[in-house]
Amino acid sequence: MVSKISFKALTLRAQMAVFSFFLVLLVVVIGGFFVIQKVTLVVEEEMGLRAVAIARTLAQMDEIKDHVGVPGGWEYIQPIAEKTRLATGVAYIVVLDMERIRFSHPVRDRIGKEFTDLDVGAALANHEYISRAEGVMGHATRAFVPIKVEEGTRQVGVVVVGVLTPNTMQVLHKVSLEVYSFLVVGLIIGLVGSLLLARNIKRAMFSMEPEEIARILQERTAIFQSMGEGVVAIDTRSRITVLNDGARNLLKLDDDVAGRPVAEVIPNTKLPRVLETGEPEHNQELLIKDTIVITNRVPVKVDGLIVGAVATFRDKTEVNALAEELTGIKAFVEAQRVQNHEYMNKLHTIAGLIQLKHYEQAMDYVFDITEEQQKITSLVSKRVNDYRLAGMLLGKYARAKELKINFIIDPSSYLSKLPSTISSNALVIVAGNLLENAFDAVRTEVEDKRKVFFKIIETEGELIMEVRDWGSGIKQGLEQKIFEHGFSTKGQARGIGLFLVQKTLNSMKGDIQVQRPEDGGVMMVVTLPVGMQLGDDTDEND
């Protein structure tokens, strides 16, 4: 257990070096053993063939044929055998007659004595062959060749030629220097290769150890799964590769969908389109199983190549709730800022009148501003029964006073409780942006044209909103272009408001018309249907 822990504690480079060392050592030892064994067999085979050739040569000599088996014949045979043995370097040459009596031998005392090795039996039966045996001189390969006379019809003896051959250990001992050199070179190459490989692997892993990558992966997975938004990723074949719990819950999926085509899981998804175009798509609405979601889709690029795409989903109801809360806070803060600025000016005026001891004028001024504020507050609170829109209108009224713009709210305006098909936040976005554009249009006009008109009424099946200004108007042919994202006649960093108005109206099946009154300026007429379900065209708009 200690060795395992200490090995795991090593760096990736050290682990690969140790592993490569033992791997190369094992390969060299096992490979070397089999190579040496094969070399030994080849040497034995070659030595055997050589011994057969020598034995055949001797068996064909007339001196040996004539004197084998003849008393005293060894005196002729022994010199020939010894001369041949010394010339060829074989271990021994033994000539036998059919009674197994030696007629030659390296040890002269054994001449005339019986050859007791049982391997000679087949040779006495007119067979030629090679055998291997362990004798007093060592491991030997022996060739047995019959001696025949009368044109090979009668056998008179046998020639035995023995060649000492090394065994595996002897071969290993002889080539030990080469083996050790090969082992050292192999280990060095293995170590260098493992270090280079480890360096390249670490470079590919951003110089992190496997444990660090595993920890980061666990942390990222935990974060990924705990996200409130649903996340779906696909590969270049439009197959799902990643799906978090948020997406699983939002899409109401029970089984594992990894590896399946995204079109099967999200039928009206546009993720494959992002793969084709390579362009991100932000804040798009999508209808998924009776739930309207806000989705962002972006391509995933590695080294400039698109390798997939990722989509995030969030329930539009949650987004609207957050947006409405944020819109209400922003409207309240803006109203408070403007109101504070206006009241500071009025307080300075009252303070100045008091210092001048114009008490009656100060009282009249207080009554005038109080009456004016009460009138507009009463009108808005009684005629507009949506607190967000009412708060926004009062804030815009204070803003208009600050800009010295005459903001007129039609007394005939009336809005009851909004139906569920019209979002209060959406209505505030539309009215707020149209009014802000109208303020911008008249801000630089002369006093009698520095005015903005607002009206909202309900009819049977429709909600109509009118916003008019007496500014310089819109050039001919730009009636639709003004609603494009980024288009503006007011310079850079503009061109968002009317685009947002158009997008918001589209989500509610609404419509906006641009009109040119005869006495100048522009009138925006918004029509919203009452009673139509939101998101009916979500897929089309998406």
Buried residues in 89-104 as b, exposed as e (16+ CB within 10 A):
ebbbbbbbbeebbbbb
pLDDT for residue 3: 47
The DSSP annotation for 163-178 comes to EE---HHHHHHHTHHH
Dist. CA 156–CA 148, nearest whole Å: 6
Q: Sheet containing 154-164: which strands, arranged edge to edge?
A: 92-97, 154-164, 138-149, 129-135
The DSSP annotation for 310-372 comes to EEEEEEHHHHHHHHHHHHHHHHHHHHHHHHHHHHHHHHHHHHHHHHTT-HHHHHHHHHHHHHH
pLDDT tens for residues 388-407? 888 889 888 888 888 889 99
What DSSP character marks residue 395? Answer: H
* Helix/strand number for the chain, H first, E second: 17, 14
Q: Do domains 227-316 and 358-541 have the same CATH topology?
A: no
Buried residues in 509-522 as b, exposed as e (16+ CB within 10 A):
bbebebeeeeeebb
Sign of CA dihedral 287, 292, 294, 300: negative
Dist. CA 157–CA 102, nearest whole Å: 10
Q: Would you identify the CATH topology of the domain 358-541?
A: Heat Shock Protein 90 (3.30.565)
Q: Would you identify the CATH topology of the domain 227-316?
A: Beta-Lactamase (3.30.450)
Domain segments of the chain as ranges: 13-172, 227-316, 358-541
Query: How many CB atoms are closer than 10 A to CB 415?
Result: 17
At the top level of CATH, the class of 13-172 is alpha beta
pLDDT for residue 369: 66
Count, residues in the chain: 542
pTM here? 0.42
Cβ-count burial of 503 within 10 angstroms (0-12 exposed, 13-18 middle, 19+ buried)?
A: middle
Dist. CA 469–CA 438, nearest whole Å: 5
Cβ-count burial of 412 within 10 angstroms (0-12 exposed, 13-18 middle, 19+ buried)?
A: exposed
Dist. CA 223–CA 218, nearest whole Å: 9
**Tens digit of each residue's pLDDT, the chain (542 residues):** 444 545 566 676 777 777 777 877 787 778 777 777 777 788 778 888 999 999 999 999 999 999 998 998 999 999 999 999 999 989 889 999 999 999 999 988 899 999 888 888 899 999 999 988 876 666 788 999 999 988 878 999 999 999 887 766 666 666 666 767 777 787 788 778 777 877 777 777 766 667 777 777 676 666 666 666 778 888 888 888 888 877 777 777 766 777 888 888 777 778 888 888 888 888 777 776 666 777 888 898 888 888 888 888 777 656 555 555 555 555 556 656 666 666 677 677 777 778 777 777 777 666 666 666 778 888 888 899 888 888 889 888 888 888 889 999 999 999 988 887 788 888 888 998 899 889 999 998 998 899 999 999 998 889 999 999 999 888 887 777 888 876 666 654 455 678 888 888 888 889 999 998 988 899 999 999 986 444 444 333 33
Of 267, 261, 256, nearest to 237 (Cα)?
Answer: 261
